[in-house]
Amino acid sequence: MGSRGKRLLPLLTLGLLLFTSCISEEVNLSLDRDGSGVCGITYTIPRALIETETMEEPPDFEHPDPLLPVPLSREAIEQDLEEHPGLTLRSYNAEETDEHIIVRMELGFSSVEALDAWLARGGQGVRREGNSLIITLYTPEEAEFDEDTRAFIEAFFGEYTVSWQVRVPARLSSWEPGEQVDARTARLVLTVSDIVQNKAPTTWKVSW
């Protein structure tokens, strides 16, 4: 591999990792007593990441795109959900700005297991243990970042975050880390740069 290829390799690896974390992600999950619920997700993706020489052309969000680990177009999501029983697409909206592509969707789920199976492709997950939800915000790939790549992460993605807000069926008993929003709702916000550089899975436990 030439010197140019060597320089690109850490960025290609980084790109895959950051696609896995979906750049800025805001999740709003509401769980009912029977294990069903609603999960709203907003992805904010910088154009500067996807419009690179790693792709022949920018992804077309009107059609399924195999380069993205989590489907983002309405058509791709609807096709994908056909293979994931227990999930329904309740609403969808996408917009493009000069700097970002923003996708908002709301999924209904019949069980925590159904939602977990769908999230798993993106290195995330949620499982129920009694009166607790264990949320995996990010599962790291096997990659080592040198100082230049770490500096790139901080500079390019320092302002991007992963945010989870969870509303549980009864009064909260614990939610550390994070903050309490109301008696039944907790929120955790982490920067993408911190999550990606964590060598262990990033998890959060919310109990009631």
Q: What is the pLDDT of residue 134?
A: 96
Percent of the chain residues past pLDDT 90, beyond the cut: 39
pLDDT tens for residues 22-62?
Answer: 467 899 999 999 999 999 999 887 776 655 534 444 444 44
Integer angstrom CA distances of residue 167 from 17, 39, 172, 183: 28, 10, 9, 9
Q: Which of 67-71, 123-127, 194-198 has the highest mean pLDDT?
A: 123-127
Q: What is the pLDDT of residue 51?
A: 55
- Give a yes or no: residue 101 inside a domain: yes
Please choose, from the candidates 160, 193, 194, the residue with its C-alpha nearest in 3D space to the C-alpha of residue 177: 194
- Give a yes or no: residue 138 inside a domain: yes
Quick one: average pLDDT of 83-101? 90
162: pLDDT confidence band, cut at 50, 70 and 90? confident
Q: What is the pLDDT of residue 199?
A: 65
Please choose, from the candidates 70, 175, 182, the residue with its C-alpha nearest in 3D space to the C-alpha of residue 119: 70
The pTM for the full model equals 0.75
- Give a yes or no: residue 18 inside a domain: no
Q: What is the pLDDT of residue 157?
A: 62
pLDDT tens for residues 181-190?
Answer: 999 999 999 8
Helix (H) or strand (E) holding 203: strand 202-207
CB atoms inside a 10 Å sphere around CB 190? 19
- Give a yes or no: residue 84 inside a domain: yes
DSSP 29-76: EEE-TTS-EEEEEEEEEEHHHHSSTTSSS---TTS--TTSSS--SHHH
Stretch among 49-53, 55-59, 134-138, 142-146 having the lowest mean pLDDT: 55-59
- Give a yes or no: residue 6 inside a domain: no
The mean pLDDT of the chain is 77
Tokens of 91: 């609403």
Q: Specify whether the backbone of 74 is left (phi greater than 0), alpha (psi in -120 to 50) or beta.
A: alpha
- Give a yes or no: residue 11 inside a domain: no
CA 84 to chain centre: 18
Q: Sheet containing 125-129: which strands, arranged edge to edge?
A: 125-129, 132-138, 202-207
- Give a yes or no: residue 14 inside a domain: no
Quick one: average pLDDT of 73-91? 90
Q: What is the pLDDT of residue 128?
A: 97
Residue 174's domain comprises 23-207
- Give a yes or no: residue 112 inside a domain: yes
Q: How many domains does the chain have?
A: 1
Tokens of 144: 């080592």
Note whether 86 and 109 are within 8 A (CB): yes
